[in-house]
Structure 1
């Protein structure tokens, strides 16, 4: 059970991802760096989007962006 051993593969093949059964030593650090980078980019886009959000009339139903939009208080949607 378990599929057996790894089969022989050509050693002269080069791939950008590292080839067959790669397991780099610093995979955890690379993962943390990637997650932090994606998080920072998402936060920046979120803040820029919230700052530029504009509604010409107040929404009839509650919407999530009313919690963080600076314009929601001016429209009377959010009480401060």
Structure 2
């Protein structure tokens, strides 16, 4: 315990003073927009759609010149896997 020097412990204030002229892309100090949940859903759906699009392009353009020596996940969806004899159809 620290020595008692006569000061009382007080609870911290809700917000300390901060500069009002600072701009931040995230909204600044203690931001909590009312529509944060819908913004989060929109962002997650957007990221999911972008990921799906990149995955589709990657799967369509994947080429293997030699059959892999061990099972790989992309053999399940690659159209070339059946031609190489990796996947049985």
Bigger CA radius of gyration: 2
Post-superposition offset of 1:23: 0.2
**Unpaired stretches in structure 1, ≥5 consecutive residues:** none
Q: Higher helix proportion, which one?
A: 1
**Unpaired stretches in structure 2, ≥5 consecutive residues:** 1-13
Structure with larger RCO (C-alpha < 8 A, sep 6+): 1
Q: Give the TM-score of the pair, scaled to structure 2.
A: 0.78
Deviations 1:16-41 (Å, cap 9, x if unpaired)? 32111000000011100010001001
How far, CA to CA, are the matches of 2:71 and 2:22 in structure 1? Answer: 57
Q: 1:77 to 1:7 in 2, by over 3 A?
A: same
Q: Please tell me the root mean square deviation across aligned C-alpha atoms, in Å.
A: 1.2
Post-superposition offset of 1:70: 0.6
Deviations 1:44-73 (Å, cap 9, x if unpaired)? 110100111011111110011101101001
Q: 1:12 to 1:54 in 2, by over 3 A?
A: closer
User: 3-state DSSP class of the match of 2:66?
Assistant: coil
Greater shift in the superposed pair: 33-42 or 7-16: 7-16
